[in-house]
Amino acid sequence: MSEFAWEGEVAPTSQSEPQSGHESGPDSHPKPAARQAGLTLSADDFSALEQRILRAVEVVRRERENRAAAEERAARAEAELREQAPLKEQLEKELHALRAERDQVRQRVERLLGQLDALAL
């Protein structure tokens, strides 16, 4: 059950606790009257608990906002990627064409250099 009880309440005890006033050793539980004094929730304890709960709520709120912002950024990035895909394909085709043209120019230059060498002999 709960670790704390309101003032004036006694926290419920388990059935394994001794009911007599005699303590049976170091593992024995305190009497209900002694437990009441130790488990009452003071105003300071309640205030501290309230502050912890408020901080936890704030953390959850911020994390939800951050998650929503991250999901929005991811959606924008995916949309931009879809927009850029045709441009990427076009640039890849152009690159392939330029490389083919470069190879053709290299072959022509090598052929011309070979003809110049043949003339020089």
What are 9-27's pLDDT values in tens digits? Answer: 444 444 444 444 444 455 5
Query: How far is 105 from 56, CA to CA, in rounded Å?
Result: 69
pLDDT confidence of residue 2: 45
Q: For 39-89, what is each residue's pLDDT tens digit?
A: 677 888 889 999 999 999 999 999 999 999 999 999 999 999 999 999 999
Q: Return the top range by mean pLDDT from 19-23, 34-38, 109-113.
A: 109-113
The whole-model pTM stands at 0.45
Domain locations in the chain?
Answer: 1-41, 42-120
Nearby residues of 108 by Cβ (< 8 Å), 6 or more positions away: none
Per-residue exposure over 85-119, b if at least 16 CB sit within 10 Å of its own CB, e if not = eeeeeeeeeeeeeeeeeeeeeeeeeeeeeeeeeee
